[in-house]
Structure 1
Amino acid sequence: MTRADAAGIKGMMITGGSLHESREAVDLANGLGQGVYATVGVHPTRTSQLDSYPSGAAVYLGHLEELIEQNSKPKGKGKVVAWGECGLDYDRLHFSDIDSQKRHFATQLGLAQKHGLPLFLHSRSAHEDFVSICRAAGYETEGGKASGGKGGVVHSFTGTEAEMKELVEMGFYIGLNGCSLKTDENLAVAKAVPLERLMLETDAPWCSITTTHSSNHHLKSLPADLRQLYFPDSCKKEKFVMGKTVKGRNEPCATGGVAWIVAQVKGIPIEEVASHAWKNTVELFGLSELDS
């Protein structure tokens, strides 16, 4: 948190990917105070939990709804700002099969609409089914909004430019992180994302930017003072030193590095990238306390 603050991070979202994780995310958001929020939902690789839950999927989802009712606006504390992470992941079917993912994705879209929440979305090697299910749920109108819903962001985007454009045409935002910037093709997609549909993220502790990524050479132009803020000194976890990051473990402070790379490929100042990403995020998730 100290490193994030030093790097200029003014807001964070802790992602829930299961009932257990969603509860942890909400507890953390409540404990860490202003500027920290949570999502509640079931990641596509965890939908098998819904099928195997002793009391049934409806009860599992009911517990998630209780979290929302207790911790979202207007009745709760306002810490839950999105339904998710939900979607489809056909790269990791050993966790949850296609049928399970599709059924429970559609259900979760309905619950997001019921509670008037925007979506935090995941799509891996499943674009056609992903779009089809979203359209069937009504997410194809202007702004990506369905009845009662508030649009959403397809986070950690690694798809093609054509896929990105279709999602943007549906009104969704595109979230970019280190995994979104691995290859030359990824960088071309990042360049093409409209600023009014851009969001920035780290997906910490995952999706760090490594020396093997095509994006890494753009960091050579990053000023030394910013490099130290965005990518502080690290150590191996076996030799942990207080005050240093753990090697290979991503952190929110690296968001600035993502912004720098996006700015470089677009050929615009980092301030312009950050300004649009900030505005988009505050508006989609209704983060009124940060809108100042």
Structure 2
Amino acid sequence: MLSRMASLTRKFIDIGANLTDDMYQGVYHGSKKHEADLELVLKRAWDVGLSKVIITGTSLSDTKTALQLAKTNEQLYCTAGCHPTRCGEFEQDDTDPETYLENLLQLTLDNRDNVIAIGECGLDYDRTQFCAPDIQRKYFEKQINLAEVTGLPMFLHCRNSASDLVKILTAHREKLVGGVVHSFDGTKEEAQQILDLDLFIGINGCSLKTEDNLVVAASVPPERLMIETDSPWCEIRPTHAGYKHVKTTFPTKKKEKWQSGVMVKSRNEPNCIVQVLEVLAAVRGEDADELANTLYNNTMKLFFPAETK
């Protein structure tokens, strides 16, 4: 169980949480299983030491929802962008691509206190059935232009596409003020290419599945690391290589037997960021409290620079 001392001494920022997902409204695959419990989810987050949570915007409509949620709590923020698997939205029959982009830009400019990054955007070659690679690349580049205009860092997605991602980012490097490749699960070589662009690497449960993943996570310089949950996805499962390093566990119940104050089994939450820290600290041979402080400072530097001056 969670140590109260840890919850009082460590501060966390979850750089990627999909809090607009229907699961936090009790809906799974279109079926209502329990009452909405996002407030309880957030309470558990604050209890483990989270000081901020960045809600991921994955499309224009989702970004609007994320922004609306962010405005309900001063500890919540959001990104604005279109996920690579949803970039087909730019060219839907009733959509003008430039208008879609302009709407993302205006939403960002009008809400600078809440929107702190451009994204989630990037490339995903594992799920090209949702959007062809050429469409992904086209609108990834256009979203880099949004980062240039707004002066905001980027929240980047990369799945089986590091070569093209790095190539595009390198071509537009002068437009970037910084960014993080979140949920990183690539090789050491790919990590180094990202680091060479002065970007950060975000680690979550999906980054800690295999022994090779753990070696890569251990190799990233501490000043270039961030952590996240990508909840409700990317939990650290018992089958994952990193699970043996988890010290903190939380009681859970199946969604059909939902109980107030208890986590839903297999639904990840921001409070599980403490587990990501524990695995990272173990594989890197570092003190967890010191690492937490470094990760917090890294995140503040990129996403909240005004608060670090």
Contact 2:233 2:267 (C-alpha < 8 Å) held by counterparts: yes
Report the Cα distance in structure 1 between the residues aligned to 2:51 and 2:250, rounded to whole angstroms.
18
SS at match of 1:31: coil
The one-letter amino acid paired with 2:191 is M
| Counterparts of residues 63-78 of structure 1 (less than 5 Å) | 63-72=103-112, 78=113
Contact 2:203 2:276 (C-alpha < 8 Å) held by counterparts: yes
Q: What is the CA deviation profile of residues 125-160 of structure 1, one whole-angstrom value per residue up to 9, with x for unaligned ones?
A: 11111111101112xxxxxxx34x321000000000
TM-score (norm: length of structure 2): 0.85
TM-score (norm: length of structure 1): 0.89
Give the structure 1 partner of residue 75 of structure 2: 35
Instruction: Work out which of the residue numbers 29, 45, 48 in structure 1 matches 2:85.
Output: 45
Instruction: Work out which of the residue numbers 31, 47, 52 in structure 2 matches 1:11.
Output: 52
Deviation at 1:69, TM superposition (A): 1.4
Contact 1:40 1:68 (C-alpha < 8 Å) held by counterparts: yes
Q: Does 1:247 align with 2:287?
A: no
Deviation at 1:5, TM superposition (A): 1.0
Q: Does 1:104 align with 2:139?
A: yes
Instruction: Work out which of the residue numbers 21, 29, 43 in structure 1 matches 2:62.
Output: 21
Give the structure 1 partner of residue 186 of structure 2: 159
Q: What is the CA deviation profile of residues 83-129 of structure 1, one whole-angstrom value per residue up to 9, with x for unaligned ones?
A: 00000000000000011000000110011111111000001111111
Instruction: Work out which of the residue numbers 47, 56, 60 in structure 1 matches 2:96.
Output: 56
- Equivalent pairs, count: 268
Q: Which runs of 5 or more residues in structure 2 are unaligned?
A: 1-41
Contact 1:90 1:124 (C-alpha < 8 Å) held by counterparts: yes
Deviation at 1:4, TM superposition (A): 0.6
Higher relative CO (Cα under 8 Å, sequence separation at least 6) belongs to: 2
Instruction: Work out which of the residue numbers 267, 282, 298 in structure 2 matches 1:264.
Output: 282
Instruction: Work out which of the residue numbers 274, 277, 282 in structure 1 matches 2:292.
Output: 274
SS at match of 2:229: coil
The one-letter amino acid paired with 1:93 is T
Quick one: percent identity of the two aligned structures? 42
Report the Cα distance in structure 1 between the residues aligned to 2:292 and 2:105, rounded to whole angstroms.
33
The one-letter amino acid paired with 2:255 is K
The root-mean-square deviation of aligned C-alpha atoms, in Å, is 1.2
Q: What is the CA deviation profile of residues 164-221 of structure 1, one whole-angstrom value per residue up to 9, with x for unaligned ones?
A: 01111110100000000000000000100100000010001100000100001112xx
SS at match of 2:122: strand
Contact 1:9 1:253 (C-alpha < 8 Å) held by counterparts: yes
The one-letter amino acid paired with 2:44 is R
Give the structure 2 partner of residue 188 of structure 1: 215
Q: Does 1:172 align with 2:199?
A: yes
Report the Cα distance in structure 2 between the residues aligned to 1:17 and 1:277, rounded to whole angstroms.
24
The one-letter amino acid paired with 1:29 is A
Contact 1:53 1:60 (C-alpha < 8 Å) held by counterparts: no
Q: Which runs of 5 or more residues in structure 1 are unaligned?
A: 73-77, 139-145
